[in-house]
Chain A
Amino acid sequence: MEAMDTLSDHLKTRVIELKKLQDEGRKIIGYTPGGYMPEELVYACDAVPVGLIRGGEHEPVLYAGAYLPRWMDTFCRAQIGYKMLGEDPSYQMVDLLAVPLTDNNIRAVADCWDFYTDTEVFRFGIPHDKSDFAFNYYLDGINLLKEKLESLTGNKMDEAKLKEAIDLCNRERELLKEISLMRMSDQSPISARDFIDLNHSSFLADKSVMVEALESVCTEMKKQEPARSMKGPRILLTGSTLARGDYKILSLIEETGAEVVIEEFAEGMRHYWETVNPDGDFMEALADRYFKRRVPPAWFRPGRERLDFLIKLAKDFKVDGVIWYQLMYRDSYDFESYYFPPMLEKETGLHMLKIESDYDASEIGPFRTRVETYIETIRR
């Protein structure tokens, strides 16, 4: 698709462009990509958000071992490794790391950056239930973030700018959702790889360029005649984190002829199901979208909402199988992976395959065997 090529060209030069913007005085706000960071606030302060979502490589994970015991989530160790290796400019250039603090793995990222580097870190807590008190705590947290961004950038956030940012980010979410919903079809017009690529691009790309690209992809997909033909089993891919570059599992699924038609991840994928309702107080509207209506990750307790959502996705997208792809030592997911399969089977008759990765190249052989066997079982 032409629009995707244009987007890919944009991303190739994006880091250089970011550096230029920074030299011109714009602040670069890095953030951990767990879906709780309202980018709108960053835009409204005329700063630039960058979601730090790189993963899938073993070296940064190994490198992080000098700073943190290895018994922490793989993606989080990688975020420390990328920073300490100093090879990726997008990790080096951030003026502030904003950390919506979800669990101890993410706390480890914030703490290591604080202890071992000069980058300023701003934490705001994400409570683990959806009580009114929790909602207000989150709201308070994003208000503190707003103050921090204002003082860092020297730009006061006005309502008009915030509204503009909300509209732009809403448009991005709407388009991602529209494209995603087209994948419900038996003849999904876009491959999982392309959709994930689009989604991941949204963490780095200029928002206007991104929205434009998504508009074009949408239009092209609607025109596309005939749509791609899909013959293999349809898969729901879910888990803790799907990072940019962590495509081993996707390749293995593709190799079997199966296709991922829907993904649900706590981190690394932009959540697009809900938009911000910009009526009334904008900060409350943001908290309502990012905290209250967002399907929570497994570190919520109770964590049932997400499991029910997975069952709904499995039904809506008519999947033939569910692959649970999680990273090592993300224990909240380990717990759920034990009691979710019986729920899933009861509700849908589907079986689940669980795969755990530590971004290690040696995993590929055993993973291949397990994925092939699983897909084989589905086909029978």
Chain B
Amino acid sequence: MYTELFTLCGYEPEEIEKETPRIERAFEKAKLGREDIERAENRLREYFDTTSFGVRKSLKIWMEQFIDMVLAREEGKKIIYPSYPTVPDITLAINMASEDVFCQTPELVLDMVMGQIFGKIDPILEAAEAHGLSQGLAMCSLNQARVGGIIQGIAPMPDLLLGTGFFCDQTPKTDDYLHEVYGIPMVIMDGCMDSSWDEFPEISSRRVKALGIEIRRAMEECQDALGIKITDELLEESFSDFTKLWTSLFMLWDYMKNDPQPMSLVDLGPLWWMATSPDRRALTEGIQVIAQLIREMHQKVKEGKGVVPKGAPKVLIFCHQATDPRVMRMIENAGIAVPTTALIGVTASQAAAFADTKYTIWEEKVANNMLSHGLYHSTPGCIHRYRELCQTWNVDGVLNFYHFSCRAYCIAPLMIKSAIEEDAGIPVLSLEGDFYDTRQYSAESLKTRVETFADMLTIKAASRSG
């Protein structure tokens, strides 16, 4: 019953055979039956490029994560759930420190597997809604998945919650909720986005040091709670491994600049999400998959193959929908090339920050790198990032698809529209949506606005060339 699905997800026959007992136990816990498997197979065939070896292998990474997560408790692992936005360096360091720890963001695993693959995220969201994260209150669906997954027992009760509060208020409050209701210990890395309006791309050392202190404190509390030891050498090693991972990912992403766009964000998305919350597997299988995809991309470019026609208008999107591939496919079908998102990629100001040798201790280097992204620094930082990315990617428009239930993301959309349209002369469509839930913002419901925007970009391009 599992052969076809797991083959589509890049498993070899002997791996399927070996893993079957674990698959069965995990699927039973997650209440995934024959019907779900069939749906998943159809979705994979229809929305993912399963002819690509690299894509199948990247899906495999998520399937493995899912099975590991569901079985983590019965397999005797200590469980720690970092939350979004993660400090990926910590996730990686904890994973590298001990094989007896399962350290992963459950909402991400659920979105990738129960959402993207099985199309069955709704019951998880509904479980959270029945327990206080109600509909109609603009509660973030990513946090709903965290809570719903735990309530449904798909994500086992963790030993520790590792939250961040330097950007998002809702995630740490979700952890506070889990702490109050279920008594789960929590560690929050706090922070305040209190830079002056004109600070970015400079980053005050006050912000870097403050975030660094919080990261270090969290790291120490995690060690105490989990009984693990994370040495400074290990931190440096994970820092350099993490840099390698992202460097190779960016090399891959560079191919997306080609016309026609060689691959879909649907197919590359799982890899990007993996890098935002990396574990050991990301460093081994992940790096191999990236190398494989680079080879495939190279070939596609050589052959002039693409997911959209050559010359299709190119847009920058804020973030691609993470639970339902149909949204991105709808955008591509409207004739728009979406080679990257505002969350991916190194801007020039980020590169300058990475090269800065001012900070030498691990936590400050991590903090500096995170803040240099822009989004986690401030609204001007976010706008700055958009400007830089629009230039680097030479886009014809911005599809500012924003997550309506996220207070942190809702501040900037209209400012971005005004800044990018007025300063850079690039049209921006502000598109209210949901990154992790398509019950209200399905591909169908977004289609008309996207198609109109595509028409506008095409007319603009035609008038330019005419």
A interface residue numbers (CB < 8 A to B): 66-69, 71-73, 101, 103-105, 107-108, 111-112, 114-115, 121-129, 133-134, 137, 140-141, 298-299, 301-304, 328-329, 331-332, 334-335, 337-339, 356
B455 at the interface (CB under 8 A from A): no
B195 at the interface (CB under 8 A from A): yes
Looking at B177, B191, B194, B410, the one whose CB has the most chain A CB atoms below 10 A away is: B194
**A-B contacts at CB below 8 angstroms, number:** 139
- Check B192–A115 contact: CB distance below 8 A: no
- Check A302–B407 contact: CB distance below 8 A: no
Q: Which of B351-370 contact A (CB under 8 A)?
A: none
**Further contacts, 13 of them, CB under 8 A, given A123-B194, A127-B190, A335-B174:** A68-B411, A69-B404, A111-B412, A123-B196, A124-B194, A129-B188, A299-B169, A299-B173, A302-B179, A328-B138, A329-B137, A331-B169, A335-B176
Partner of A128, one of B165, B180, B402, B407: B165
Selected A-B contacts with CB under 8 Å, 7 pairs: A66-B414, A68-B411, A71-B404, A104-B408, A107-B411, A123-B195, A331-B407
> Please, which residue of chain B has its CB at the minimum distance from the CB of A105?
B407
Give, as a whole number of angstroms, the nearest-CB distance from A318 to chain B. Answer: 26
- Check A127–B379 contact: CB distance below 8 A: no
Contacts of B313 in A (CB 8 A): none
CA distance A61 to B217 in the complex (A): 40
Contacts of A335 in B (CB 8 A): 132-133, 173-174, 176-177
- Check A338–B407 contact: CB distance below 8 A: no
- Check A125–B173 contact: CB distance below 8 A: no
CA distance A303 to B213 in the complex (A): 22
CA distance A331 to B172 in the complex (A): 11
Looking at A115, A123, A140, A329, the one whose CB has the most chain B CB atoms below 10 A away is: A115
Partner of B190, one of A115, A124, A128: A128
Contacts of B345 in A (CB 8 A): none
- Check B138–A329 contact: CB distance below 8 A: yes
CA distance A121 to B196 in the complex (A): 8
Contacts of A105 in B (CB 8 A): 407
CA distance A25 to B195 in the complex (A): 28
Looking at A73, A134, A331, A338, the one whose CB has the most chain B CB atoms below 10 A away is: A331
Give, as a whole number of angstroms, the nearest-CB distance from A121 to chain B. Answer: 7
- Check B414–A69 contact: CB distance below 8 A: yes
- Check A67–B414 contact: CB distance below 8 A: yes
Contacts of A115 in B (CB 8 A): 197, 379, 415, 418
B175 at the interface (CB under 8 A from A): yes
- Check B177–A101 contact: CB distance below 8 A: no
> Please, which residue of chain B has its CB at the minimum distance from the CB of A123?
B194
B439 at the interface (CB under 8 A from A): no
Contacts of B197 in A (CB 8 A): 111, 114-115, 121
B193 at the interface (CB under 8 A from A): yes
Partner of B172, one of A73, A111, A128: A128
- Check B379–A133 contact: CB distance below 8 A: no
- Check A338–B190 contact: CB distance below 8 A: no
Assuming the A-B contacts A103-B407, A104-B408, A329-B137, are A301 and B193 also in contact, with contact meaning beta carbons closer than 8 angstroms in the complex?
A: no
B413 at the interface (CB under 8 A from A): yes
Contacts of A137 in B (CB 8 A): 192, 210
B29 at the interface (CB under 8 A from A): no
CA distance A107 to B377 in the complex (A): 12
- Check A103–B169 contact: CB distance below 8 A: yes
CA distance A133 to B180 in the complex (A): 24
Assuming the A-B contacts A303-B176, A331-B137, are A108 and B411 also in contact, with contact meaning beta carbons closer than 8 angstroms in the complex?
A: yes
B349 at the interface (CB under 8 A from A): no
Looking at B176, B192, B213, B415, the one whose CB has the most chain A CB atoms below 10 A away is: B192
Partner of B194, one of A68, A108, A141, A332: A141
Assuming the A-B contacts A68-B410, A334-B137, are A301 and B194 also in contact, with contact meaning beta carbons closer than 8 angstroms in the complex?
A: no
- Check B132–A338 contact: CB distance below 8 A: yes
Give, as a whole number of angstroms, the nearest-CB distance from B130 to chain A. Answer: 11
> Please, which residue of chain A has its CB at the minimum distance from the CB of B193?
A107
- Check B177–A329 contact: CB distance below 8 A: no
CA distance A101 to B169 in the complex (A): 12
B139 at the interface (CB under 8 A from A): yes
- Check A125–B192 contact: CB distance below 8 A: yes
Q: Which of B393-435 contact A (CB under 8 A)?
A: 402, 404-408, 410-415, 418, 432
Q: Which of B247-284 contact A (CB under 8 A)?
A: none
CA distance A107 to B407 in the complex (A): 10
- Check A339–B177 contact: CB distance below 8 A: yes
B206 at the interface (CB under 8 A from A): yes
Contacts of A69 in B (CB 8 A): 402, 404, 410, 413-414, 432
B170 at the interface (CB under 8 A from A): yes
CA distance A107 to B192 in the complex (A): 10
> Please, which residue of chain A has its CB at the minimum distance from the CB of B206?
A140
Contacts of A334 in B (CB 8 A): 132-134, 137, 139
Contact mask B204-238 → A, CB, 8 Å, 1/0?
00100010011001000000000000000000000
| A-B CB proximity, top 5 nearest | A125-B192, A338-B132, A125-B194, A104-B407, A301-B176
B181 at the interface (CB under 8 A from A): yes
Contacts of B138 in A (CB 8 A): 71, 328-329, 331
Assuming the A-B contacts A71-B404, A133-B213, are A301 and B173 also in contact, with contact meaning beta carbons closer than 8 angstroms in the complex?
A: yes
Contact mask B104-143 → A, CB, 8 Å, 1/0?
0000000000000000000000000001111001111000
> Please, which residue of chain A has its CB at the minimum distance from the CB of B194?
A125
CA distance A365 to B134 in the complex (A): 22
> Please, which residue of chain A has its CB at the minimum distance from the CB of B207?
A125
Contacts of B206 in A (CB 8 A): 140
Give, as a whole number of angstroms, the nearest-CB distance from B167 to chain A. Answer: 8
CA distance A119 to B227 in the complex (A): 51
Contacts of B163 in A (CB 8 A): 301
CA distance A103 to B210 in the complex (A): 17
CA distance A210 to B134 in the complex (A): 43
Give, as a whole number of angstroms, the nearest-CB distance from B394 to chain A. Answer: 26
Give, as a whole number of angstroms, the nearest-CB distance from A377 to chain B. Answer: 22
Contacts of A66 in B (CB 8 A): 414
Give, as a whole number of angstroms, the nearest-CB distance from A333 to chain B. Answer: 9
CA distance A162 to B191 in the complex (A): 29
Contacts of A298 in B (CB 8 A): 173
- Check B188–A301 contact: CB distance below 8 A: yes
Contacts of B170 in A (CB 8 A): 331-332
Give, as a whole number of angstroms, the nearest-CB distance from B210 to chain A. Answer: 6
Assuming the A-B contacts A111-B415, A129-B190, A301-B173, are A338 and B408 also in contact, with contact meaning beta carbons closer than 8 angstroms in the complex?
A: no
Looking at B168, B379, B406, the one whose CB has the most chain A CB atoms below 10 A away is: B379
Give, as a whole number of angstroms, the nearest-CB distance from A37 to chain B. Answer: 13
CA distance A67 to B191 in the complex (A): 26
